[in-house]
Amino acid sequence: MIILIVIVFAALGFIVSRKLKSKFKKYSQTSLKANLSGKEIAELMLADNNVSDVRVLSVEGQLTDHYNPANKTVNLSPDVYYGRNAAAAAVAAHECGHAIQHATAYTWLNLRSAMVPVQNASGKILNIVLIASLFGGAFIGLPYEIIGFIIVGAYGIMTLFTLVTLPVEFDASARALAWVKERNVVTPEEYGMSKDALKWAAMTYVVAALAALATLAYYIMIFFGNRD
């Protein structure tokens, strides 16, 4: 069953990833009428929202764009940083959406940030217990039921993290789309492209959350189902 879950969601993740790359490639071929680069759009959006302590940087890779709250930087891949198209506009504005969330103490982002160390610790615990359990509960001196509680608890925290990530990502996209439209950074046609690109980007997080839920349900069934 776990192998089936992995295969199904790996396939879904692959399909969504391919679709996302296809959309970005397609929308990168249409130049913005405003002729603004991703860097310029990011700096403009930050300024409009009175965020003055965040730097916009270029980082290597493709679709490596992210906001780093630790050093307050919006990190854009070269295609986005230098790009002057609907895809670049969408991504740059989305990452600035996270910076604005941080500046305004957005509840879901604060919760997600607070969960990061707990989520990381849960991942390490889960790996240790899963490997050890392959040799039987006696290997780590714990009965089967306790191992079950640890695995379900750790994976439950990891699953919760993927669920909390969803409103953070959706809100960042909503902020981005509202701003590019209100600021006339994009035309109505370019707005549609930006919205579609962000929709497929969000789908990657949806698939991850569904995969986590399915895996958690599997572990609950294995350890606590049919106990009669």
Catalogue the active-site residues.
Answer: 95
Nearest CA to 179 out of 87, 46, 54 is that of 46
Nearest CA to 185 out of 24, 30, 25, 35 is that of 35
**Sheet containing 73-76, strands listed edge to edge, beginning at the edge strand earlier in sequence:** 55-58, 73-76, 66-68
DSSP for 132-182, written as a single string: HHTT-GGGGT--HHHHHHHHHHHHHHHHHHHHHHHHHHHHHHHHHHHHHHH
